[in-house]
Amino acid sequence: MSEPSLIKSTEADREATFAASCHLLHELLEELSNIGKAEEGGMTRLLYSSSWLKAQQYLQHVMQGKGLVTSYDQSGNLYALLEGTDENGRHKPLFTGSHIDTVISGGKFDGALGVAAGMVALLYLNEVYGPPVRSLAAVSLCEEEGSRFPFAFWGSRSVTGSNDWSAAGNLKDAEGIRMLEAAEICGFGPNSSYPVRPFEPDGYLELHIEQGAVLERTGTSIGIVTDIVGQKRLDVMITGEANHAGTTPMHYRKDALIGATEMIVRIHELALSYGDPLVATVGTMELLPGAVNVVPGKVSFTLDIRHTDKGIMDRFILEALLIISASAARNRLHAEWQEHLSVDPVAMDEGWIERIQNACEALDFSYRKMPSGAGHDAQIFAEVCKAAMIFVPSQNGLSHHPEEFTSEEEINQGFRVLVEMLYQYGYRGKTDE
């Protein structure tokens, strides 16, 4: 097994290369922010859209131009490989990256930061240390958000094999276009020339903005993710009786909105009683017939529940459904619900958590161990390999928003921690670990 050679022999040379790498990282983020710019602000890059394809092709062009070997898989995930010299560690690289898709009018950093940082980190390591002992791969995952098709984490799920085209291909977007059809327009899909996946991951490391305000409010540079919350999402349908607003006495009414409002308030109070980190959110509501002079006959609303403990999350949902049933009965309404997302909480790898902590202490960066209240691709990879996440602050806690912002200094600190972790794995690590 050949050892890596130090190409940049002085600390000054390495720091100059790191500064140039940070400049390239911010340049990539700026260029990506111009792809899919939305009139209402931010950017929109939905899976298999023209802006999504342009972003992937742009990244491929940059990485190829700088000497990395790139490839796609059938789903449209883009890989940039830094191949290791050790035969045993060559074929299952450590993955680093995130997702390239956005929500509608999304921000500049969500997903894109991890993608750009992973690719630039490989370029830096190769320039300073040459080929690694064990392979490293930066990945621009095709999708995480579920903003176009009713299916989240398609990129990581297709890499890990937890879902395939038979499960996702016939899903339709708002315009009735099938997911497989959209993929084929972009040149992907099971009938393309691309493999199902070119590599299997030996591990997964993701740099991401926090998407919350904890790091900023506590003045902390780095978040070390301990767990990613589980999520349950339900569609709740309440049926009463639509009737004339002027001729229907109050005590005769079967007002679906009154019942739904009561349910929402009581579920909110229940969530407060559970305390952190449980959160429950009603994000959408629809009234039918939706007329100013008609008593609402039907109301549907969504319920999103998250917690790091599956047992607590399940108990809360049971109590929330009892609230819905009791309120429906009290108001002479009919209630039904359907679960459309269920993701268990996932713990990050303890060994990687310790390494990230040690790196922060060595670099004199303040850090905080914390759960992630948002879902991430790392939780999908954790099903098949060791996974870890590094957070950097989000100004005012904004995310999925055109004004999403993280300073260059904060990004550079997270990038330095990411580089150190990749270096430890690729260049210092023992193949029998």
Q: For a pLDDT cut of 70, what percent of the chain falls above it?
A: 96
Report which of 411, 433, 285 is spatially closest to residue 351, judged by C-alpha positions. 433
Contact 278, 313 (CB under 8 A): yes
Per residue in 297-329, pLDDT tens? Answer: 999 999 999 999 999 999 999 999 999 999 999
- pLDDT at residue 428, rounded to an integer: 76
Say if residue 220 is in the same domain as residue 255. no
Looking at the predicted structure, is the pLDDT value of residue 170 above 50? yes
Residue 86 lies in a domain: yes
- DSSP codes joined into one string, 252-288: G-B-HHHHHHHHHHHHHHHHHHH-TT-EEE---EEEE
Q: What is the pLDDT of residue 340?
A: 80
Q: How far is CA 8 from CA 12, 14, 134, 269, 352, in A?
A: 9, 6, 20, 59, 27
Angle 112-129/50-65 helices, nearest 10 degrees?
10
Write the DSSP string, 5-71: --SS-SHHHHHHHHHHHHHHHHHHHHHHHTTTB-TTSSB---TTSHHHHHHHHHHHHHHHHTT-EEE
One domain for residues 40 and 157:
yes
pLDDT surpasses 80 at 272: yes
Q: Is residue 142 part of a domain?
A: yes
**Same domain membership, residue 54 and residue 21:** yes
For residue 49, tell me if it sits in a domain.
yes
Structure confidence at residue 86 (pLDDT):
85
For residue 416, being part of any structural domain is answered with yes
pLDDT for residue 157 is more than 60: yes
| Cα distances (Å, whole numbers) of residue 296 to 125, 323, 356 | 62, 20, 54
Q: Pairing state of beta strands 386-392 and 203-209?
A: parallel
Give 15's pLDDT tier (boundaries 50, 70, 90). very high
Mean pLDDT for 375-381 is 95
Same domain, 53 and 147: yes
Task: Give residue 87's pLDDT band: very low, low, confident or very high (50, 70, 90).
Answer: confident
Report the distance separating Cα 119 and Cα 197, nearest Å.
18
- Residue 307 sits in the same domain as residue 204: no
Q: What is the reported pLDDT for 343?
A: 83
pLDDT over 70 at 3, yes or no:
no
Average pLDDT, stretch 32-54?
A: 96
Task: Please state whether 353 falls in left (phi above 0), alpha (psi between -120 and 50) or beta.
Answer: alpha
Choice among 46-50, 251-255, 384-388, 425-429 with the minimum mean pLDDT: 425-429
Q: What is the mean pLDDT of the chain?
A: 94
Cα–Cα separations (whole angstroms), residue 132 to 36, 66, 88, 329, 358: 35, 17, 13, 65, 22
Q: Convert the pLDDT of each residue in 208-230 to its tens digit.
A: 999 999 999 999 999 999 999 99
Last residue of a domain, one of 343, 364, 397: 343
> Do 269 and 279 belong together in one domain?
yes
Tally of domains in the chain: 2
Domain that holds residue 22: 11-228+346-428
pLDDT bucket at 341, cuts 50 / 70 / 90: confident
Are both 220 and 239 inside the same structural domain? no
Residue 1 lies in a domain: no
Does one domain contain both 219 and 250?
no
- What pLDDT does 4 receive? 56
**Which of 343, 363, 391 lies at the terminal end of a domain, its last residue?**
343
The pLDDT of residue 430 = 41
For residue 280, tell me if it sits in a domain. yes
Last residue of a domain, one of 343, 372, 387: 343
Residue 5 has pLDDT above 70, yes or no: no
pTM value is: 0.88
326 vs 332: CA distance, rounded Å? 10
Output the domain CATH number for residue 134: 3.40.630.10
AA letter at 333: L
* pLDDT above 60 for 1: no
Give mean pLDDT, residues 407-414: 98
Q: What is the CATH number of the domain that holds 278?
A: 3.30.70.360
| 122 shares a domain with 67 | yes
Q: Distance between CA atoms of 114 and 98, rounded to whole angstroms?
A: 5
27 and 128 in one domain?
Answer: yes
pLDDT at 90: 66
As a three-state string, the secondary structure of 312-358 is: HHHHHHHHHHHHHHHHHHHCCCEEEEEEEEEECCEECCHHHHHHHHH
For residues 350 and 313, membership in a common domain is answered with no
Are 358 and 375 contained in the same domain? yes
pLDDT in tens, 114-152: 999 999 999 999 999 999 999 999 999 999 999 999 888
